[in-house]
Amino acid sequence: MTPAALLLDIDGTLVDSREAVEATWRLVAAEFGADPEPILAVCHGRRDDDVIPEFFAPAVAATVAARITELETAYLPLVRPVPGADEVLAGWRPRPWAAVTSGPRTLMRGRLAAAGLPVPPVLVTAEDVARGKPDPEGFLLASAALGVAPADCVVVEDSPAGVAAGKAAGGYVVAIVTTHGVTDLAGADEVIGGWQEFRWVRSRSARPSAASGGRRRPPAPR
């Protein structure tokens, strides 16, 4: 069965921003005397406002946040589309879809533009939620804005926090292996190695990737 809507993450799912994200956090960590490796292990898929308090003192939190915004904007030229994302969006539209991201609105619109991808009709960003992923609030807001039940949506995510949020919202979660490995994404209903394996919109010539770990595909959402 075809889902009623797609709810898509942006970073790591539609756009490959890993180089920009990691360069930003490494430089910020160096400037403020933090170890970047623990930050990089947990920052993907989460709001900066939720990550910063875990690694930086309250006295510098606002300065760190401002520096992150400055660097991420400067690194927009490093952003590119995740392979196959443009074909999937072209094949899905004009059916309902939304993006649910942990990033700020201005930056996310900039990253989509840098990757040559469209801005969705519904865009839920860090500013729109009181609780970031893994809380399901963002996905619940998106499905409500589209007028569809979460259980009738396919959520596509690349991070453990995003997978947990999509599952908590009640969606059918497909995890794409870009920023994390198969084991880290085990909470998803389905794991794919790339957009070429996305079974609701894909080319006839697509072949399964070894990165998916050969997991059996569960039935589509009802």
What pLDDT, in 10s, does the model give residues 97-110?
999 999 999 999 99
Same domain, 62 and 130: no
Same domain, 127 and 59: no
CA–chain centroid gap for 185, Å, is: 13
pLDDT band at 183 (very low <50, low <70, confident <90, very high): very high
> Is position 221 within any domain?
no
Tell me which of 11, 16, 48, 50 is the catalytic residue.
11
Same domain, 205 and 107: yes
Domain boundary among 44, 59, 77: 77
Domain boundary among 77, 95, 116: 77
Q: Is 189 a catalytic residue?
A: no
Same domain, 91 and 196: yes
**CB neighbours of residue 185 within 10 Å:** 25
Indicate the pTM of the whole model: 0.83
Q: How many domains does the chain have?
A: 2
Same domain, 133 and 183: yes
CB 141 within 8 A of CB 105: no
Tell me which of 9, 16, 152, 158 is the catalytic residue.
9
pLDDT at 220: 43
Average pLDDT of span 195-219? 55
- The one-character DSSP state at 17 is -
Same domain, 131 and 194: yes
Average pLDDT of span 112-137? 96
- Is the per-residue pLDDT at 15 higher than 80? yes
pLDDT, tens digit (0-9, with 9 covering 90-100), for 57-95: 999 999 999 999 999 999 999 999 999 999 999 999 999
Same domain, 122 and 112: yes
Q: What domain range includes position 180?
A: 5-16+79-212
CB 33 within 8 A of CB 55: no
Report percent pLDDT > 90 for the chain: 85
pLDDT, tens digit (0-9, with 9 covering 90-100), for 139-159: 999 999 999 999 999 999 999
- Is the per-residue pLDDT at 209 higher than 50? no
> Is position 164 within any domain?
yes
Same domain, 178 and 83: yes
Q: Is 9 a catalytic residue?
A: yes
Please report, for residues 57, 60, 70, 113, 166, the alpha-carbon distance to residue 66 in angstroms, rounded to integers and kept in the order given: 15, 10, 6, 22, 29
- Give the Cα separation of 200 and 180 in Å (integer): 22
